[in-house]
Structure 1
């Protein structure tokens, strides 16, 4: 597999390249958003390879423009196909699979904007849970050429013969690492079995776990090219990271103190458990902070409304689980706070990647307790960053490190062995009890 990485020589000025020079045609260039003049690094590397028909594994930081990196070539190919045939009614040619409903909606919106101006007959269909299936079936009668879907809902529709994938020419696995981690892969495999073997396959991700690296070698067979628009598993340079060591039981109060001290207009707080997300949101409301919880157990209407209110500044703080880490895009989101560290190091990269998007600056704060040192060590190893722990004013640390946690941060879970004599004594006692249990009463 050919690998394209950022050059070690000085990078050309952004103004030195245009989308037209990458191969995007004049029709599509003319409908791009007014503020989108020059391609990002991942777009510069991926678009020519995709237009050349090559399979691609693209690694790039969150918020770096991955959606248009694969979206523009797909829209161009579909538009050219529609222009070359007399009828606009065509089976789906392109499929974008994503792990969450929110990300599916985000990708659909990003692609629909230029597509609607490019051609009235170029239809994009969103297929995900939380939306009535009957409503989606009505929309499918318009015969979309490009589908953005979550695996579960699409598989349901395919097994019920409501939609066919036998004409798919382009397959995109967006946030491919998350599709593996969240257990979607069996569904993805079933869907791929319904598609033609000959198709262009594109994998996009911000991190490259070993499982994805191995998978890419099997899926990408058409003159594949790996695009590394940034250092693998890297955190965007525009994100300032602050980590504070606090007592486990002090985290909620520390969060409230930070929110009241700095009064950020928008804050996204990540926590691992949905029950904790609800509890923390209630504590923030009680403290006079306008907050709401966002997790997978919420009704889709509530999830969509909460996110809309957050973007419109009607809610200051959203407390979200990792399910939301890939689907939340808020322009110029200033702050992300990890109320706990994720056990999966790549999730940390995705969480804090919600800020500092599209070249903006951002702040990522993590509240860390002694018990999370193994997670912190894994994050440091993955990102190759020192991530020093600082103290937080008015929150002295009184908790003691667990004896099970070594100095290097790894968890020593090996229980001490009992002396052989103790084992033998236990066996003798057990035998005595067993014999008594079988003796009859006299």
Structure 2
């Protein structure tokens, strides 16, 4: 099948970059449904081409409505994503297509001055807006932007947006938009407990699934090594120097403070590394990500900020220094490698205390994830027995004893 078989207009086909030869399975199914005006819930593996799946469908519909002079001056399509890094990536992918089709496009997100973004929106009112929830809600609440003409709403990385942290903001944004609009949800994973929220947003959506949910592409080789908790940093350095010499790697870690400390250790060991997490300001995050993409930094140590949707081309290695506490996050992390038909390796360094997390990942993905021995790193830690070394202290009883002693003095 070719893109020509998807009922895309000659203008959209002409705007497609030359590297896109044939539509991926999710594009083959989602684009026709979008062009029919249906609401769509699309679930597909990471790296399967979801951005173009909704991007081409949106741009086609916006291009067809461009003959209406009134619509040209109105915001008619909004894409909402959980992080500014993902917003920037989608903006970069769609911008050349939008420009070729003469469709005004803009991005708004936190971490950038509000006044700066308002000035940008006033100077060039967009028809297609890519936004993070918090900043979009700010603009709507302060009446700095109008969403009452929005006809197409996309939620990318929908499972994250439907979680409690984003859900209240998302509800308020949707309430400010017209009740009648096309709604599109795209994600690699979607937990069963989110089904009620999906049905509230789009009760009649066409569900499209490509591959099994929570499964990773076959091109990813997954390995798990059992190591002592205190040996993880040194084991990582050994892997980077001996197993993957000179190859760029994305290393995931759970705590922000630990990300900075690990980056320092790697640099001290002669491995050029940068840390990337939510406490970094917008400029720092952009610089770190750009330096990694350009090869100026060999290792990027990141929290789960980058687990969602970031597309780093030709990334050969992803390493979990810590297993994520949520099993679906593992799918998003590991999916940063082996994208666009390439191969990749995903390594997890596991200590005894992470066995429950590993069991949850095995159950979710169906992968065996056998624990291997890492040469030079003998495991001396003992599995947790589940018993406390000391009895739980009764703090109230302790205070009563102390008070009795004072009263007897």
Give TM-score scaled by structure 2 length.
0.94
Of 67-76 and 182-191, more deviation after overlay is shown by 182-191
Pairwise CA distance, 1:179: 1.6
Match of 2:76 among 86, 90, 93: 93
Matching of residue 144 in structure 1 with residue 126 in structure 2: yes
Aligned to 1:60: 44
What's 2:32 paired with?
A: 48
Paired position in structure 2 for 1:193: 175
- The alignment covers a number of residue pairs equal to 406
Distance 1:430 1:397 in 2: 39
- Secondary structure of the residue aligned to 2:129 is strand
Structure 1 residues 257 and 198: alpha-carbon distance in aligned structure 2, compared to 1, 3 A threshold? same
The CA deviation at 1:311 is 0.6
**What residue number does 1:130 align with?**
111
Q: Shift in Å at residue 264 of structure 1?
A: 3.8
Structure 1 position 377 matched with structure 2 position 351: no
- Judge conservation of contact 2:162–2:197 (CA < 8 Å) in 1: no
- Find the partner of 1:313 among 283, 288, 295: 295
Q: Name the counterpart of 1:102.
A: 85
Q: 1:386 aligns with which of 368, 375, 384?
A: 368
Partner of residue 155, structure 1 = 137
Instruction: Choose from 315, 321, 327 the match for 1:339.
Output: 321
The DSSP-based 3-state class of the residue aligned with 1:367 is strand
Residue 277 of structure 2 is aligned to residue 288 of structure 1: no
SS of the aligned residue for 1:390 comes to strand
2:231 corresponds to which residue?
A: 250
Determine the C-alpha separation between the residues in 2 that align with 1:438 and 1:105: 64
Q: Contact 2:263–2:274 at 8 Å: present in 1 too?
A: yes
Corresponding position of 2:188: 206
The answer to whether 1:322 aligns with 2:310 is: no
State the structure with more CA Rg. 1
Matches of 1:265 and 1:440 in 2, distance apart? 71
Contact 1:89 1:143 (8 Å CA) reproduced? no
Residue of structure 2 in register with 1:273 after alignment:
255
Partners of 1:438 and 1:312 in 2: CA distance: 68
Offset, 1:230: 1.1
How many angstroms does 1:129 deviate by? 1.1
1:408 equivalent in structure 2: none
Decide which of 13, 18, 23 is 2:7's aligned counterpart. 23
CA change 1:440–1:155 in 2 (3 A) is same
Gaps in structure 1 of 5+ consecutive residues = 1-16, 405-411
Task: With the length of structure 1 as denominator, give the TM-score of the two structures.
Answer: 0.87
> 1: CA distance between counterparts of 2:301 and 2:281?
16
Q: Match of 1:71? A: 55
Aligned partners of 1:294 and 1:321 also within 8 Å: yes
Q: 1:274 to 1:57 in 2, by over 3 A?
A: same
Query: 1:436, CA displacement in angstroms?
Result: 5.4
Unaligned 5+ segments in structure 2 are none
Decide which of 241, 247, 254 is 1:260's aligned counterpart.
Answer: 241
Mapped partners of 1:383, 1:266: distance in 2: 26
Question: Does the CA contact (< 8 Å) of 1:55 and 1:224 recur in 2?
Answer: yes
The structure-2 alpha-carbon separation of the partners of 1:191 and 1:109, relative to structure 1 and needing over 3 Å to count, comes to same
Cα 1:293–1:417 shift into 2, 3 Å: closer
Alpha-carbon distance, 1:327 to partner: 4.6
Residues 1:206 and 1:416: Cα distance change in structure 2 (over 3 Å): farther
Give the whole-Å Cα distance in 2 for the aligned partners of 1:101 and 1:117. 24
Q: CA 1:246–1:436 in structure 2 vs 1: closer, same or farther (change >3 Å)?
A: closer
Tell me if structure 2 keeps the 8 A contact 1:176–1:212: no
Deviation of the 1:437 alpha carbon: 8.0
How far apart, CA to CA, are the structure 1 residues paired with 2:405 and 2:269? 60
From 152, 155, 162, the counterpart of 1:170:
152
> Which secondary structure state, in structure 2, belongs to the residue aligned with residue 154 of structure 1?
helix
| Cα separation, partners in 2 of 1:81 and 1:390, compared to 1, 3 Å | same
The answer for the alignment partner of 1:225 in structure 2 is 206
- Could you tell me how far apart the structure 2 residues matched to 1:173 and 1:329 are? 17
